[in-house]
């Protein structure tokens, strides 16, 4: 009797194991169940971007490498187009300008004298009182002096241009956002990181992932926060949407960020909560709905 019970129990275990194996094989052979797509309309969409002056930054850089001689503006100062921001060392160019001015003055006087001499000789030659050689010499002298004066004017213009390129001027009406220069410090030609200007108005250049772009509407308002501290920065209004999608030129710091994601560039006009919002500040807006 005991043997029968043992054999019966063993048979039950084997049967259960076989049934388990068959069931798993059956399940694995079936196609996977279709997952329900996420309801994007109900999901909050966090998008990231940076604060910029409206129209973007304007960089001012020298054409030649020189030391800073004089600084004429300060950061956060409003400037007009053409206003001189700072002067670079220009002693040689000023000396060349003075020489050019003196040469133009001397040649202008020479042209007046030679032109007067030619007119008198032309009258004398017409009356037969001087030879043709004397007439031609006076004519040639007047022509050479006039040519030399034209050359001197060209050299003077070049001297002025060389001097002016050592005056770093504002290319737009705007605000000086960065002025990282000091007296006596050398500025390298083409260094566009030291002086930055821009509009007094600010905007936020946001990067919206491609599957969220349908949620962004022209004129919509969104609250903007510092992406690192979550501090409220202000309200942004959508004023422009780039019709193309592509990569992003900065990282948001989001640990789940994918590098192959495509983004649409969206511009928000910023109404800041306070003054002196730093340019380049990384910010975040939530596109769950308008303000």
Token pair listed for 109 = 């006087």
What CATH number is attached to the domain comprising 242? 2.40.30.170
Verify that 187 and 65 share a domain, yes or no: yes
Residue 204 — pLDDT band, cuts 50, 70, 90?
Answer: very high
Verify that 277 and 210 share a domain, yes or no: yes
Dist. CA 271–CA 234, nearest whole Å: 6
Dist. CA 216–CA 222, nearest whole Å: 10
Residue 158 — pLDDT band, cuts 50, 70, 90?
Answer: very high
Could you give the dihedral angle defined by the CA atoms of residues 40, 44, 45 and 48, in that order, rounded to the nearest 10 degrees?
-170
Closest to 103 in 3D by CA, of 67, 133, 135, 148? 148
> How many domains is the chain partitioned into structurally?
3
Residue 9 — pLDDT band, cuts 50, 70, 90?
Answer: low
The number of angstroms, rounded, from the C-alpha of 125 to the middle of its chain's C-alpha atoms is: 68
Verify that 217 and 228 share a domain, yes or no: yes
Lowest mean pLDDT among 75-79, 99-103, 170-174, 245-249: 245-249
Q: Is residue 3 part of a domain?
A: no
Verify that 148 and 221 share a domain, yes or no: no
Dist. CA 77–CA 67, nearest whole Å: 23
Verify that 123 and 178 share a domain, yes or no: no
Highest mean pLDDT among 35-39, 163-167, 277-281: 163-167
Contacts of 237 (CB under 8 A, 6+ apart): 219, 220, 221, 268, 269, 271
Q: Is residue 10 part of a domain?
A: no
Verify that 135 and 265 share a domain, yes or no: no
Closest to 72 in 3D by CA, of 195, 200, 202? 195
Verify that 276 and 223 share a domain, yes or no: yes
What CATH number is attached to the domain comprising 138? 1.10.287.470
Verify that 84 and 95 share a domain, yes or no: no
Q: Is residue 23 part of a domain?
A: no
What CATH number is attached to the domain comprising 175? 2.40.50.100
Q: Is residue 15 part of a domain?
A: no
Q: Is residue 24 part of a domain?
A: no
Q: Is residue 28 part of a domain?
A: no
Q: Is residue 99 part of a domain?
A: yes
The domain in which residue 235 lies consists of 45-56+201-286
Verify that 65 and 178 share a domain, yes or no: yes
Verify that 183 and 193 share a domain, yes or no: yes
Alpha carbon separation from 131 to 115, 137, 194, 280 (Å, rounded): 18, 10, 69, 80
Verify that 104 and 234 share a domain, yes or no: no
Closest to 88 in 3D by CA, of 164, 160, 158, 192? 164
Which class for 279: exposed (0-12), middle (13-18), buried (19 or more C-beta within 10 A)?
A: middle
Interval 20-58: pLDDT, tens: 565 665 555 555 544 454 555 556 678 889 999 999 899
Dist. CA 149–CA 109, nearest whole Å: 10
Q: Is residue 33 part of a domain?
A: no
CB 199 within 8 A of CB 174: yes
Verify that 133 and 72 share a domain, yes or no: no
């Amino acid at each position: 009797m005991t043997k029968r019970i043992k054999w019966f129990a063993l048979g039950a275990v084997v049967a259960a194991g076989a049934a388990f194996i068959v069931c798993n094989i059956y399940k694995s052979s079936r196609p996977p169940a279709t997952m329900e797509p996420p309801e994007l309309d109900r999901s909050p969409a966090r998008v990231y971007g940076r604060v910029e002056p409206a129209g973007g930054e304007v960089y001012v850089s020298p054409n030649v490498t020189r030391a800073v001689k004089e600084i004429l503006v300060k950061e956060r100062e409003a400037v007009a187009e053409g206003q001189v921001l700072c002067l670079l060392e220009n002693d040689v160019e000023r000396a060349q300008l003075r020489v050019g001015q003196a040469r133009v003055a001397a040649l202008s006087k020479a042209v007046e004298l030679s032109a007067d001499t030619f007119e008198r000789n032309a009258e004398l030659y017409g009356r037969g009182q001087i030879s043709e050689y004397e007439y031609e010499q006076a004519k040639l002298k007047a022509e050479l002096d006039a040519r030399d004066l034209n050359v001197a004017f060209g050299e003077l213009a070049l001297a002025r241009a060389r001097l002016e390129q050592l005056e770093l001027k504002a290319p737009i009406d705007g605000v000086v956002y960065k002025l990282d220069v000091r007296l006596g410090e050398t500025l390298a030609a083409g260094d566009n990181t030291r002086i930055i200007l821009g509009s007094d108005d600010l905007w936020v250049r946001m990067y919206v992932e491609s599957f969220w772009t349908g949620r962004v509407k022209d004129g919509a308002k969104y609250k903007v926060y510092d992406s690192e501290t979550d501090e409220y920065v202000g309200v942004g209004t959508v004023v422009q949407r780039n019709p193309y999608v592509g990569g992003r030129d900065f990282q948001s710091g989001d640990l789940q960020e994918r590098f192959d994601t495509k983004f649409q560039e969206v511009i928000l006009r910023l109404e800041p909560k306070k003054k002196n919002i730093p340019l380049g500040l990384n910010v975040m807006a939530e596109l769950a709905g308008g303000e």
